[in-house]
Amino acid sequence: MPRRRPGLRSLLTALLAGIVPLLAALTLTAAPAAHAASLTEVTGFGANPSNLRMYVYRPDSAPARPAVLVAVHYCTGSGPAFYSGTEFASLADRYGFLVVYPSVTRSGGCFDVSSPQALKRGGGSDPVGIMSMVTYAEQHYGADPNRVFVTGASSGAMMTNVLLGDYPDVFKAGAAFMGVPFGCFATTDGSSWNSACANGTVTKTPQQWGDLARAAYPGYTGPRPRMQLWHGTEDTTLRYPNFGEEIKQWTDVLGVSQTPAFTDHPQSIWTRTRYGGTGTQAPVEAISVQGAGHTLPTAGMAARAISFFGLDSTTTQPPTDPPTDPPTTPAGTCRVTYTTSTWSTGLTAQITVTNTGTAQVDGWALTFTLPSGQTITSGWNATFSPVGGTVTARNVAYNAVLAPGASTTVGFQATHTGDTGAPASFSLNGSTCRTG
């Protein structure tokens, strides 16, 4: 085992601090249903260079050739803990797919998403062991090799990104809850922690991120897996800018525009954007959860992932949302004017938002997508997050209320790589605004 860097213990403690609320939330909102089947440990499943353990949940409803979902736990967790603390097993009961729960045995309980071995197809470490589990499931449980998916939280979300890069020919889609892009956590000093990435300070262009993922399997030209991304805006363990960097990476890998084809708010604190398509199974889907920390997935989110994979029986429509979660701003009751001043590598933008409706807006969030290459460096009269891609500007204390007919003006300074254009559209609290 490599010698740990000084301070790693405190960093793992920070991860644990972030996961404790997750466990509490899951205990309160996502207690597992009583399963007729049970979790089974499998030994001797094949090449396993990092001594992972393999657990399988095969529901009684599984057909002869079930789909397989690899569900990857968080730091300090385990396969059995992820089984009992999330909704994937109960969803497997409902829809008949197989769930494989890898489990780390190394100290700290984190998956290796940092070493050169982990970031290369067949290179060794945890991804090789997980691939052995998939092969075992296909050979011994009759799992369908054309329907293999992966999901995970925190360290497991990072591994989801890694597996889609290492094995794009194996996995059809992934769902990462609170992760970072493929390669972001890479280290060369033998440590397993990358503070710059965790703190959200590692930024790259979409092509740079895409090239990192493509380099894991040089020469591969086949189809790439779809990706669903989730992140809380107040995550202090794997900070929120990583969400925007993941969007950059997977839109580039899948060759789709970074401008959303679809934006909505399935719940009042969720902002969902889809890239390259508008349906439930778009190439890339990203859900930002306002005010959430390092506590995902919470109740109902796993079902969204299953729908994104196409493993439910109603994949043409997303799950029904509670009727108590309408947009807080009626449709068509806002107007945005957007002006810029540009120079060689920079620009400033001024955005004026007007409430054109008859009801007062008490607290607002303006969402828009910056053209590729634009990165916000500072802002005023609002908080802007993330700094690129799909950005949400949120009110500050003194401009939270917009009376009917009232306006507020916010702005930002940004760098650019050539495209100084304006966002194609704006939405205020989920309502599309008129422009001009």
Catalytic residue annotation: 154
Which pair of tokens denotes residue 286? 């990203």
- Asked if 433 contacts 336 with a C-beta cutoff of 8 angstroms, the reply is yes
Integer Cα distance of 144 and 166 in angstroms: 20
Integer Cα distance of 248 and 282 in angstroms: 15
Asked whether the bond before 371 is cis by omega within 30 degrees of 0, the reply is no
Taking each helix axis as running N to C, give the angle between helix 301-309 and helix 88-95, from 0 to 180 degrees, rounded to the nearest 10. Answer: 50
Number of CB atoms found within 10 A of residue 109's CB: 20
Integer Cα distance of 362 and 99 in angstroms: 44
Q: Which of 198, 196, 15, 46 is nearest to 127 (CA)?
A: 46
Asked whether the bond before 80 is cis by omega within 30 degrees of 0, the reply is no
Q: How is the beta sheet containing 39-42 ordered, strand by strand?
A: 39-42, 53-57, 98-103, 68-72, 148-153, 173-177, 226-232, 284-289, 270-275, 262-264
- Asked if 335 contacts 433 with a C-beta cutoff of 8 angstroms, the reply is yes
Helix, strand or coil, per DSSP, at residue 355? strand
Number of CB atoms found within 10 A of residue 324's CB: 7
| 276 to 238, 284, 319: CA distances (angstroms) | 26, 7, 21
Beta bridge partners of 71: 151
Integer Cα distance of 185 and 95 in angstroms: 34
